[in-house]
Amino acid sequence: MKILFLNDTSRSRNWGCQATTSCLRYLVERKWPGAQLDSVHLPKLPYRHIPQLRRWVESRFLAAGKTRDLDRFLQQMNVRVDERWFSYDLVLLNGEGSMHGKSGHLMRLLALVERLKRAGVPCISVNQSVDLASKPAALEYLQQVYAGLDAVQVREAISLQGLGEAVPCAELVPDAAFFSNRLPPDWGRKSTPAADIAPGSIAIFGSSALGPRDGATMGRLCDAVRQVRPEAPLLFLCSTKTDEALAQAMTAKLSGVQTLTEQQLGFRDLCDVLAQVEISVGGRFHPTILAALQGTVTIPLVGNTCKMNGLMALLESRGGVLSCNYSVPEYVQALEAGFAELDAEKRRLRQRCDSLADAVEQGLERAFATAG
């Protein structure tokens, strides 16, 4: 069995990228022991210093409609199609982090998977949120490509609704990271022994909606945490440069702050840390999943797409997703509500996540079955 893996994010410093790819790889290898799983690592985007030019090229490609030249467009996007790829038994596209209007990789991944499908290779696209409401032409193209694939899976209901009837093969299957607790014990680890966490710590991570200069938002959030739990140690968990910058700004402002980064922790080590904290706060999609797997409640911030809203609905959590523009009193109200139901919510989250892990296994098994 030869499988071509598109958007392999295992090289990323991001814990979520590591977790999803690890879970996908494990489930592929369990389905087909000894399978040849080859990753395509695309070159850097073209026109990196003039992104407007890249967007212009993409818009011309979209406007061409039925006369689109896939090979020419892929060359313009720094993608050289290797004809050896046409001999693979399956193309597995991990859509995580790419299928939204702010992604520079959206168009070239869609064009590449369309080209491979046209060559007769079975293609499946999994593990993604699709948020293209602001890019109707790109959404229409994605729908056209996805309607011709062998399986399409999105990880929350908002994305499924956005695809509509145009992609009849689409289904909701939770993010692969929900399978993380079922990986072999040594997968995804860097830290031995486990990190030493102060009792009663509150974990804080950033959000894809925040930039490194959004210290004011993070400051309001931390002020609210300190109002609700004045003596609680704050633990910043960072696997992006943005989160590290925000943590540094808060460390300079506040006392009783600890920071752990991806250089110290693998994603399974992060799970161990999240199991020890009292609660977590932030808008990072995968840390929220990894926290929920340990029964740890997250007070969620909005992300840069629909994904956090969709995730909280999938987890069947009561509270809404918090705006980055909230005032300190509004954050305090949300935190107090979260602490009030902490014990019951911990038990419920573990049960819910167990069922979602089952759904990951069953859903990917259905997708894999399209390859025979």
Q: Grade residue 194 by pLDDT with cuts at 50, 70 and 90.
A: low
Q: Grade residue 196 by pLDDT with cuts at 50, 70 and 90.
A: confident
136-193 tens-digit pLDDT? 999 999 999 999 999 999 999 999 999 999 999 999 999 999 999 999 999 999 876 6
Q: Which of 279, 133, 284, 262 is nearest to 210 (CA)?
A: 284
**Integer Cα distance of 263 and 261 in angstroms:** 5
CA distances from 306 to 55, 303, 309 (A): 22, 7, 6
Q: State CA 185 to chain mean position distance.
A: 22
Q: Which of 64, 102, 113, 353 is nearest to 209 (CA)?
A: 102
CB atoms near residue 192 (< 10 Å): 6
Sheet holding 170-172, edge to edge: 36-40, 2-6, 90-94, 123-126, 151-154, 170-172
Q: Grade residue 343 by pLDDT with cuts at 50, 70 and 90.
A: confident
Percent of the chain with pLDDT over 70: 99
**Integer Cα distance of 74 and 90 in angstroms:** 20
43-102 tens-digit pLDDT? 999 998 899 999 999 999 999 998 999 999 999 999 999 999 999 999 999 999 999 999
**Integer Cα distance of 209 and 324 in angstroms:** 8
309-329 tens-digit pLDDT? 999 999 999 888 999 999 999
Structural domains for the chain: 2-172 (3.40.50), 202-355 (3.40.50.2000)
Residues facing 283 on adjacent strands: 207
Give the global pTM. Answer: 0.95
Instruction: For residue 167, give the amino acid letter.
Output: V
User: Could you tell me the two tokens for 161?
Assistant: 């609704």
Determine the pLDDT at residue 107.
Answer: 97
CB-based contacts of 147: which residues, under 8 Å, 6+ apart?
166, 167, 168, 169
CB burial string 288-308: b at 16+ within 10 A, e below: bbbbbbbbbbbbbbbbbbbbb
CB atoms near residue 62 (< 10 Å): 17
> With contact defined as beta carbons under 8 Å apart, do 107 and 61 qualify?
yes
Annotate the chain with three-state secondary structure: CEEEEECCCCCCCCHHHHHHHHHHHHHHHHHCCCCEEEEECCCCCCCCCCHHHHHHHHHHHHHCHHHCCHHHHHHHCCCCCCHHHHHCCEEEEECCCCCECCCCCHHHHHHHHHHHHHCCCCEEEECCCCECCCCHHHHHHHHHHHHCCCEEEECCHHHHHHHHHHCCCEEECCCHHHHHHHCCCCCCCCCCCCCCCCCCCEEEEEECCCCCCCHHHHHHHHHHHHHHCCCCCEEEEECCHHHHHHHHHHHHHCCCEEEEECCCCCHHHHHHHHHHCCEEEEECHHHHHHHHHCCCCEEEECCCCCHHHHHHHHCCCCCCCECCCCCHHHHHHHHHHHHHCHHHHHHHHHHHHHHHHHHHHHHHHHHHHCCC
User: Could you tell me the two tokens for 45?
Assistant: 């985007």
CB atoms near residue 175 (< 10 Å): 29
**In this model, does residue 20 exceed pLDDT 90?**
yes
Determine the pLDDT at residue 304.
Answer: 87
> Mean pLDDT across the stretch 257-266?
93
User: Could you tell me the two tokens for 173?
Assistant: 């299957």
